[in-house]
Amino acid sequence: MKRPKVHLVGAGPGDPELLTLKAARLLREADVVVYDRLVAPEIMELVPKGAARIFVGKATSNHTLQQDEINELLVRLAVPGRRVVRLKGGDPLVFGRGGEEAEYLAAHGVDCEIVPGITAAAGCAAEVGIPLTHRGLATGLRFVTGHCRAGEALDLNWQSLADPDTTLVVYMGLGNLGEIATRLVAAGLPATTPAAAIANGTTPQRQICRATLADLPGAVAAARLASPVLVIIGRVAALARLPASHQEERHEPAAPARRA
């Protein structure tokens, strides 16, 4: 007898053409798809007309289902022979709570196949021509979340993050961008460090603000960027090469000095 199984699939950063071939195949074969808020409508069009679609999207202070309810839903849906796809924006294991869902499924006797997706950092940076690593400018790369639970402080190791030789990518940091910039500068990262904020990356609604780290919060507020926003901080942000179709609020940082 077949064991129950859930496919935990990454939908990529927004552009439906960045969906992997494996993800597209699983969607076309699905009996039920449990999907998040940032999954492009064009991607959902791959789902067969007779398949069930269950929306469990989350926005700040507005959760269709709490995470524990989503976990329980997946277990209930996973019956032998039913093709269940849990579809998440970006990569399911990069700030997508996919690891929690996989653990819960395993604890309840449900197999879980994880299908990676292009994470927002890779997709959005590539679209605007920012290399996440670049010889002479960045020897490392770090992903952090700029989101914290309601009523709790943003608990990051600021001294560790304030490394001028590292590219810092902040997911879900729009609401705390001012604090992030202030704390990084206080920890020693130069206020003149190039930075960029990309809203709705890889979609027709994309916008980008470029400024120094100190000026970025004001530039983002002036441009009225709305979630989802990805923030890239580091010398590489000054290398952005934008197609003519991009919307940009320019607060141009100085060109980065290469290290010897």
Q: Which of 5, 31, 58, 111 is catalytic?
A: 58
Separation between Cα atoms, residue 245 and residue 204, nearest integer Å? 9
Distance of CA 85 to the CA centre of its chain: 19
Query: How many Å apart are CA 97 and CA 105, to the nearest integer?
Result: 13
DSSP state letter for 121: H
Residue in 36, 91, 163, 215 annotated catalytic = 36
Phi-psi region of 107 (alpha: psi -120 to 50; beta: other; left: phi over 0): alpha
Cα end-to-end span (Å), the chain: 63
36 given a catalytic annotation? yes
Paired strand residues for 168: 142, 233
User: Which listed residue (88, 91, 163, 172) is catalytic?
Assistant: 172
Nearest to 145 by CA among 216, 64, 207, 230: 230
Q: Catalytic: 1?
A: no
Contact 228, 38 (CB under 8 A): yes
Catalytic positions: 36, 58, 172
